[in-house]
């Protein structure tokens, strides 16, 4: 019985030794297969991971590329729009500047002055209001002209200048188109007789002012007076140039 067990153990040992030797020779075995499976699994996992990583990376890159392309296109469109808008804005500004420049050609600094060379002037006493005279200036030229401030009046050889009625000053320069007229009213004498030094004038000179007060505005005019002359005293005053006859005789 004991010998049988010894033989069985010996036979089992020989079989195990033979099995181990065979495994070593052909490169197979439980451990090697386990290692191979582990390696294969790791390789597969790595490959799968790499593939997934690459796929995700590519997808991410594609998304970024698409997003970047969209951003780039959007930026380009924005730049183009802004550029066009800016260009249009500047163009509008230039156009507006040109238009303003053209408009300024008709401004006071380029318009001609009304004076004795391009107008006809009349002076006519009126019944209402009393002791008043109306001066009328008609543009006989070919282009509009401007009347600045008020007429400078001089009867005969008088040595003083009648003062203007300040309340009559208009808000802008009075302009006259060709064939049209403007006016000024003259208070010859006070209605209550408070004036002094009354006398009769037989000759009237109407002077024109330039762009600054009391400057020379060009040739004067000498409108005819009634044969009997015009009576005036120290209260003699004149209005600023007016666009209408009614305004000229209001003061």
Q: What is the pLDDT along the chain (251 residues), one digit of tens a residue?
A: 444 444 444 444 444 444 444 444 444 444 444 444 433 333 334 334 443 444 444 444 444 444 444 443 343 334 334 433 333 333 333 333 333 333 334 554 568 999 999 999 999 999 999 999 999 999 999 999 999 999 999 999 999 999 999 999 999 999 999 999 999 999 999 988 888 989 999 999 999 999 999 999 999 999 999 999 999 999 999 999 999 999 999 99
What's the pLDDT tens digit per position in 176-198? Answer: 999 999 999 999 999 888 889 89
Q: Which contiguous run of DSSP H or E holds residue 56?
A: helix 30-104
**On the CB side of 195, how many CA atoms lie within 13 Å of its CA?**
16
List Cβ neighbours of 147 (8 Å cut-off, separation of 6 or more): 113, 114, 137, 173, 174, 175, 176, 182, 208, 241
DSSP 8-state class, residue 111: S
Which tokens is 198 given? 């009354």
Contact 121, 221 (CB under 8 A): yes
Q: Which contiguous run of DSSP H or E holds residue 34?
A: helix 30-104
What's the pLDDT tens digit per position in 129-182? Answer: 999 999 999 999 999 999 999 999 999 999 999 999 999 999 999 999 999 999
Handedness of CA 151, 154, 155, 161 (dihedral sign): positive
Contact 58, 66 (CB under 8 A): no
What residue has token string 């505005």? 217
Which tokens is 12 given? 């089992």
**On the CB side of 116, how many CA atoms lie within 13 Å of its CA?**
13
Q: Measured between alpha carbons, how far is 106 from 99 in angstroms, rounded to an integer?
A: 12
pLDDT of residue 192: 86
């Amino acid at each position: 019985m004991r010998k049988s067990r010894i033989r069985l153990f010996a036979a089992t040992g020989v079989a195990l030794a033979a099995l181990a030797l065979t495994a070593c020779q052909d490169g197979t075995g439980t451990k090697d297969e386990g290692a191979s499976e582990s390696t294969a699994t790791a390789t597969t996992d790595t490959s799968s991971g790499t593939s997934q990583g690459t796929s995700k990376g590519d997808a991410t890159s594609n998304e970024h590329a698409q997003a970047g392309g969209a951003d780039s296109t959007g930026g380009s469109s924005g730049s183009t729009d802004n550029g066009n808008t800016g260009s249009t804005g500047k163009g509008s500004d230039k156009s507006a500047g040109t238009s303003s420049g053209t408009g300024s050609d008709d401004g006071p600094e380029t318009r001609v002055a009304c004076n004795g060379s391009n107008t006809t002037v009349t002076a006519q006493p009126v019944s209402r209001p009393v002791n008043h005279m109306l001066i009328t200036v008609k543009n006989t030229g070919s282009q509009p002209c401007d009347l600045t401030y008020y007429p400078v009046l001089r009867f005969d050889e008088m040595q003083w200048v009648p003062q203007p009625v300040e309340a009559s000053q208009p808000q802008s320069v009075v302009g006259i188109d060709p064939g049209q007229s403007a006016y000024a009213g003259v208070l010859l004498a006070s209605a209550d007789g408070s004036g002094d030094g009354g006398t009769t004038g037989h000759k009237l000179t109407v002077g024109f002012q330039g762009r600054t007060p009391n400057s020379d505005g060009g040739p004067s005019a000498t409108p005819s007076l009634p044969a009997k002359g015009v009576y005036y005293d120290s209260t003699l005053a004149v209005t600023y140039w007016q666009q209408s006859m009614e305004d000229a005789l209001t003061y």
